[in-house]
Amino acid sequence: MQREVEIGPDDSAGSLYYQRIFPAGVDLVLESVALIDAGRAPRVTQDESRASYEPLCRDAHAAIEWTQPARRVHDLIRGCDPQPGAHTPVGDKRLRLYESRRVEGQGAPGTVLALAVDGMTIATAEGAVRVAKARVDGHARQARGGRRGGGARDHGRRAAGVERRVRDVVAGRVSSTSCYGGRARRRDR
């Protein structure tokens, strides 16, 4: 049995699977069992000429090329979210990006155009993407504003805190972080 599911323009591999494919699969299994029990299960032979094998997405597939248009970069980020996480080098570290949206913006490809409470905006060859979450390998994923489920009322102060945390993580001054509102310990203190 088969069922089509819609893929939204900002669905990630994770949201597509957990919010659309998995629930549809559960429903199909229940329908299939009922049809088998009733003796009415369809017998459909798979057309092998239309079959293909898709390998696991690994780091080799997940490297971001900022010289690509925003659509391609956005599709790579959402296709690698949640695993392995599309990545870009920052110094000698690897920064993984999540929850991408295409946005207006221009600049040299790979340039951070804005860093705010709702994420980081990065220029591509044509346009820009905004990512809501980022993680440096070896550190916890940081949510919007550096914490989940709310935060300070003063958005300007919170945005400055996000920028400081991103700089600390990239510079390697943070030894541990928490996306649940915990405090990061700085190595230079």
Query: Tens digits of per-residue pLDDT, 83-126?
Result: 999 999 988 889 999 999 999 999 999 999 999 888 999 999 99
- If asked whether residues 72 and 165 sit together in one domain, one would say yes
pLDDT for 66: 96
What is each CA distance from 83 to 58, 86, 95, 146, 163, in whole angstroms? 8, 8, 13, 20, 25
- If asked whether residues 40 and 78 sit together in one domain, one would say no
- If asked whether residues 103 and 79 sit together in one domain, one would say yes
pLDDT for 179: 32
pLDDT for 138: 76
pLDDT for 67: 96
- If asked whether residues 38 and 68 sit together in one domain, one would say no
pLDDT for 117: 86
Range of the domain at 29: 1-44
pLDDT for 87: 96
Weakly modelled stretches of the chain, pLDDT under 50:
146-159, 172-189
| Residue 189 within any structural domain of the chain | no
Q: Return d(Cα 101, Cα 86) in angstroms, integer.
A: 14
Number of domains, the chain: 2
pLDDT for 98: 96
pLDDT for 140: 64
pLDDT for 171: 52
| Residue 30 within any structural domain of the chain | yes
| Residue 145 within any structural domain of the chain | yes
- If asked whether residues 17 and 67 sit together in one domain, one would say no
pTM of the model: 0.69
